[in-house]
Amino acid sequence: MKALVYHGPGAKSWEDVPDATLQEPTDVVVRVDTTTICGTDLHILQGDVAAVTAGRILGHEAVGTVTEAGDAIRAFRVGDRVLVPAVTRCGRCGYCLRGMPSHCQTVGGIGWIFGHLIDGTQAETVRVPFADTSLYAVPEGVTNEQAIFLADSLPTGYEVGVLAGNVRPGDTVAVVGAGAVGLSVVLTAGLWGASKVVAIDTDGFRLDKALEFGATHAVRAGPGAVADVIALTDGLGVDVAVEAVGHPETLRTAVSLVRPGGTIANAGVHGSPVELPMQDMWIRNVKLTMGLVDTVSIPTLLTMVANGRIPAENLGTHSFTFGQMEEAYDVFANAAENHALKVVINQTGQAAVRP
């Protein structure tokens, strides 16, 4: 089969590798029909994730079809259309039982294993461990292009941003960074009744998209951005500030935006240390949350997508085929100049730029 293989920092190639096969009775093999690229994949290529070694197949998001099932599999069968999420869970360890499969002890102490600790989903087929407790059936009427963003981006924005930020009815919410995760926060903050959702970014295209996705205000990042956001509140700041970029300066911006007693929810992936003004934060009684997505919200989000409440497909701005994997990476790595949010990569079909 063909797969995208990591060869060390800055190096990758779409090449022939052995087919994915069953290794345990709890495994299935999935033919990957649709996949995408995550910002974490770019961090890996920059050498930020030391656990990813040369020879690893990248990717941790897929929608596909079960082609083989281990003897212990009970929930799925060959031919089922399934969502392969970013997080794998055994369903039995202490962390899985407490709703934190992101730290499943059975799969290695961290639930994010695809494209990280085992071969990933940017391939024609993928082995899925603990499939009965990890996969999700895709409902009829939900397209691959909708479901693919429920593998990581949408649950990350919802769980690590909205839920961890404890958004409540009437709250004001600032989203620092209007990329895929930030826009996922915008798409889902309204589910908890946020009265204002302010998107902050340097990119005008992303700010326009944020308004399309339900943001009430869009603010261009810059020297006056904090003052502009504060002016949209009662002068005290927002109830919840979500950082969705992963840079030291954007996290410090989120800290500056939140009111006393508010919450800063860090959803961005950080590759370098961040110095924070703790001397100011403690006396304002603010809370800082962070962490990996658990993907436990996928059933809820699937229902909302199926019923037309969340237009997940709008996150996709470009379509490619598997044979254009390298081109897809180039577009995604240069998202601003290409007006790209997320790319959809299908095993068959044709390339397209979406309106």
Q: What is the pTM of this model?
A: 0.95
Predicted local distance difference test score (pLDDT) of residue 354 = 61
The better pLDDT of the pair 269, 233 is held by 233
Tell me: the pLDDT tens digits for 176-227?
A: 999 999 999 999 999 999 999 999 999 999 999 999 999 999 999 999 999 9
User: Is the pLDDT assigned to residue 353 strictly greater than 90?
Assistant: no
Domains present along the chain, CATH in parentheses: 2-152+295-353 (3.90.180.10), 154-290 (3.40.50.720)
User: Is the pLDDT assigned to residue 316 strictly greater than 70?
Assistant: yes
Residue 352's pLDDT band, with cuts at 50, 70 and 90, is low
Residue count of the chain, please give it: 355
Cα dist. 183→63, 73, 74, 154, 237 in Å? Answer: 21, 36, 36, 8, 21
Predicted local distance difference test score (pLDDT) of residue 297 = 97
Mean pLDDT of 19-29: 98
Tell me: the pLDDT tens digits for 93-117?
A: 999 999 999 999 999 999 999 999 9
Tell me: the pLDDT tens digits for 103-156?
A: 999 999 999 999 999 999 999 999 999 999 999 999 999 999 999 999 999 999
According to DSSP, the residues that pair with 265 across neighbouring strands are: 242, 289
Predicted local distance difference test score (pLDDT) of residue 350 = 61
Tell me: the pLDDT tens digits for 293-311?
A: 999 999 999 999 999 999 9
Predicted local distance difference test score (pLDDT) of residue 48 = 85
Predicted local distance difference test score (pLDDT) of residue 307 = 95
